[in-house]
Structure formats: structure tokens, C-alpha cells
């Protein structure tokens, strides 16, 4: 009698092209490569305290419509030139969405928004969009969620985040240790910053783990460790916001105790804004107040923003989907985003030079 012990809960296994096949079909261009290299170098210089500016990761909560995303990128590219003296602008380009229970998992997983899960198409769409954004001269940032997916797009990413749900995951700490771009670790969903500090300590060290090569073969990866990890403060469902002065000071102390660099990024959304997108502007303003008061640890911000404000459920009739409106977390509208970043630019002018020089006066 044959006893079946494997794949008992697998209904189907569908093949996907290797990362190299997708990259060969959608190759990295010289213009895109220059954007990625410059974006990574600038984020690293900011974290090292060699660049006076802050960096701002801004864009839709998630990408579901590449046409709307590219229109957003074009607007953001123009704005980035206006604020370039004080801010490095990185577009938030999230293709994967971690879910608390169930729900749409992102463009890579379900690009047609209909439960067909055409991941092959999703991988190609993601790479196509990243190529277009980088060709504009706009660096891209994303969340590293699936441990295999980065091989398809990592040459087009200037900054990564590890989400609040996965910061404690050994798999994601190992992955971050080998990524070629700076990586921000969010505090856990309960608000614990120590979880992110522990993740930084882990990701800065070498690791060995199983992974997928560009040719689609399983291999043991040996990493050097990522020295450009940093903490992202996003608040916690239990403890509320953590961008206030006392919370920032506690985060600084936790990093100092672990002998880690002191750079902090404030996520103006999530629990820091009580999931009200309009309150992100107040969070940003408050953090700039702290910089004016002498804070040197806050080096970056995150905002969730789209062409139009709010969000919408995925309708049964996709023709009813509203253009440029998020289908995941509610976002700040473009006009308010533009106004907020221009105001931030004006308020940061001058104070950043003094901060870099160590002059509080």
C-alpha cells in the first residue's frame, strides 16, 4: 500500500520563470542603474551623517494600478527637484501586502485583483513599473516580504523596509543581511522598539541560509551583513504613537545601549496617525519641530499618499474602481502631499546645515 505523506494540502504547483529570465526580458537600463546607485549612496550618506538632508519615502500604500502609479511618479519626480536641497525623495512602491488575516496580497500575488493569482504576470508588471520609475530618475523603496521575490527586482530598489509583522522573523533578518540596499526595520505592531533593535543587531551580522539564485536554483547564501539597517517608528496598536519626544529619546537610548547607529525614520502613517491619513501632516510637522529643537537622530520619514485621498474596497465590477485611489490603507491626496513636502522643505532649510555641523544655535 502506498502512503502519501507529502503535499497533502497543495492543490496545484505552477511553474514560474527564473529571476534571470524575467531580468533578461526586462533588462536594467543604464539610466535606471544610475538612479538606483545614486539613491542607495544618498540614503547611506544620510545614515552616515555625511549628507545634511533627510530622506522621505512617499507614495501609495500599495500599487494596484501601474498607470496611476506612473502618473504619481511623474508628479513626485518634479516635486523632488524642488525640495532636493533638504530631502532625498524615494517613491514608496509596495507590491506585497502582509495581511492580519486575509485579503488582497498585492500586485505581485494577484495583479488582476480577481483572485486569479497570476504571479508570473505580477512579477513582470512589478519589474516594468520599477524600470519606468527609475528611468525618470526617481529612486524606489519597497517592503521585502516574500523571501524569493527580491531576486526579481532587487537591482531596481534603493531602500527596503521590513514590516512590523516580520521584523521579528529570522528569515527576514537573514534576508536583510544580504540585501544590497539600506533596510529599515519597523517596530512591532504592539509598539516594541526593542524588536527592531534586535533585528538590526542580527541583520548587521553575516548569515547562512537557503535561497533562490538568479537561475532559479536552491543555494546556500552566505551574507556579509547589512551595516545600513535602521529603526522605523510606526507606533503601536496598544501603545499608540511613538514619534513624540519621549518616545524618540527612548529609541535613541535603546540604540545606544546596543551600540548601534542612532538614525531613526518616522512613519507618519499607521499607529502614528491613528490610520487617519490627514494626520500624517501633523506628525511630519511635529518631527520637524524636534529637529529645530536640536534633534539629530531623525533622518527620514514615510508617508502614504496617492493621487486622490482615502481608500476604496475592490468592487466586484472592476470597471467601478476609482482611478488613483488606494485599495488598502487610506492615503493622503496629492495636493496635500505636495503642500506638506514643500512646507517641510521651507522649514528644514538652514537648520539641517547647523545639525550636520553639530551647532544647536
Give the HSE-up count for residue 318: Cα atoms under 13 Å, Cβ half-sphere.
7
For 134, the grid coordinates are 527609475
The secondary structure element, H or E, covering residue 58 is strand 54-59
Question: Quick check: helix, strand or coil at residue 141?
Answer: strand
Neighbours of 160 (CB within 10 A): 23
> In terms of pTM, does the model score above 0.85?
yes
Pairwise CA distance, residues 300 & 287, whole Å: 10
Our measurement of the distance from residue 346's CA atom to the centroid of its chain's CA atoms, rounded to an integer in Å, reads 25
Q: Is 38 exposed, middle or buried (0-12, 13-18, 19+ CB in 10 A)?
A: middle
Nearest of 243, 224, 228 to residue 48 by alpha carbon: 228
Closest CA to 332 of 282, 266, 264, 265: 282
CA 172 to each of CA 14, 198, 256, 262, 315: distance values in angstroms, whole numbers, following the listed order: 25, 12, 23, 22, 33
Contact predicate 96/162, CB 8 Å: no
* Of the options 3.30.70.260, 3.20.20.540, 3.20.20.70, 3.30.465.10, the CATH number for the domain spanning 19-356: 3.20.20.70
Domain residue extents for the chain: 19-356
Q: pLDDT tens per residue, the chain (361 residues)?
A: 788 899 999 998 899 999 999 999 999 999 999 999 999 999 999 999 999 999 999 999 999 999 999 999 999 999 999 999 999 999 999 999 887 777 899 999 999 999 999 999 999 999 999 999 999 999 999 999 999 999 999 999 999 999 999 999 999 999 999 999 999 999 999 999 999 999 999 999 999 999 999 999 999 999 999 999 999 999 998 779 999 999 999 999 999 999 998 899 999 999 999 999 999 999 999 999 999 999 999 999 999 999 999 999 999 999 999 999 999 999 999 999 999 999 999 999 989 988 877 765 4
Q: What local confidence, expressed as pLDDT, does residue 163 receive?
A: 95
Per-residue model confidence as pLDDT tens digits over 56-93: 999 999 999 999 999 999 999 999 999 999 999 999 99
How does pLDDT run across 289-327, given as a tens digit for each residue?
999 999 999 999 999 999 999 999 999 999 999 999 999
How far is 275 from 268, CA to CA, in rounded Å?
Answer: 9
Amino acid at each position: 500500500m502506498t502512503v502519501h505523506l507529502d503535499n497533502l494540502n497543495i492543490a496545484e504547483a505552477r511553474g514560474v520563470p527564473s529571476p534571470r529570465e524575467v531580468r533578461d526580458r526586462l533588462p536594467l537600463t543604464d539610466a535606471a542603474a544610475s538612479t538606483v546607485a545614486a539613491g542607495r549612496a544618498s540614503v547611506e550618506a544620510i545614515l552616515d551623517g555625511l549628507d545634511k538632508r533627510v530622506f522621505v519615502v512617499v507614495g501609495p500604500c500599495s500599487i494596484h494600478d501601474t498607470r496611476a502609479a506612473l502618473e504619481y511618479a511623474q508628479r513626485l519626480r518634479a516635486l523632488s527637484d524642488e525640495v532636493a536641497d533638504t530631502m532625498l525623495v524615494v517613491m514608496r512602491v509596495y507590491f506585497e501586502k502582509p495581511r492580519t488575516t486575509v485579503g488582497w496580497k498585492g500586485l505581485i500575488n494577484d495583479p488582476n485583483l480577481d483572485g486569479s493569482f497570476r504571479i508570473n504576470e505580477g512579477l513582470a508588471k512589478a519589474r516594468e513599473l520599477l524600470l519606468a520609475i527609475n528611468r525618470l530618475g526617481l529612486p524606489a523603496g519597497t517592503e521585502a516580504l516574500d523571501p524569493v521575490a527580491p531576486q526579481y527586482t532587487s537591482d531596481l530598489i534603493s531602500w527596503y523596509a521590513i514590516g512590523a509583522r516580520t521584523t521579528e522573523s529570522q528569515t527576514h533578518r537573514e534576508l536583510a543581511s544580504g540585501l544590497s540596499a539600506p533596510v529599515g526595520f519597523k517596530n512591532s505592531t504592539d509598539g516594541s522598539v526593542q524588536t527592531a533593535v534586535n533585528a538590526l543587531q542580527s541583520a548587521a551580522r553575516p548569515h547562512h541560509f537557503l535561497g533562490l539564485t538568479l537561475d532559479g536554483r536552491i543555494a546556500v547564501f552566505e551574507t556579509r551583513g547589512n551595516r545600513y539597517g535602521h529603526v522605523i517608528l510606526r507606533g503601536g496598536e496598544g501603545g499608540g504613537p511613538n514619534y513624540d519626544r519621549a518616545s524618540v529619546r527612548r529609541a535613541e537610548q535603546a540604540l545606544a545601549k546596543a551600540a548601534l547607529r542612532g538614525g531613526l525614520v518616522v512613519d507618519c502613517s499607521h499607529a502614528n496617525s491613528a490610520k487617519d491619513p490627514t494626520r500624517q501632516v501633523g506628525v511630519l510637522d511635529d518631527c520637524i519641530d524636534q529637529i529645530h529643537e536640536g534633534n539629530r537622530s531623525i533622518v527620514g520619514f514615510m508617508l502614504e499618499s496617492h493621487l486622490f485621498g482615502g481608500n476604496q474596497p475592490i468592487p466586484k465590477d472592476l470597471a467601478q474602481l476609482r482611478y488613483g485611489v488606494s485599495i488598502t490603507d487610506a492615503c493622503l491626496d496629492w495636493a496635500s502631499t505636495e503642500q506638506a513636502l514643500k512646507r517641510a522643505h521651507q522649514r528644514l532649510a538652514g537648520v539641517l546645515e547647523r545639525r550636520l555641523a553639530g551647532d544647536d544655535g
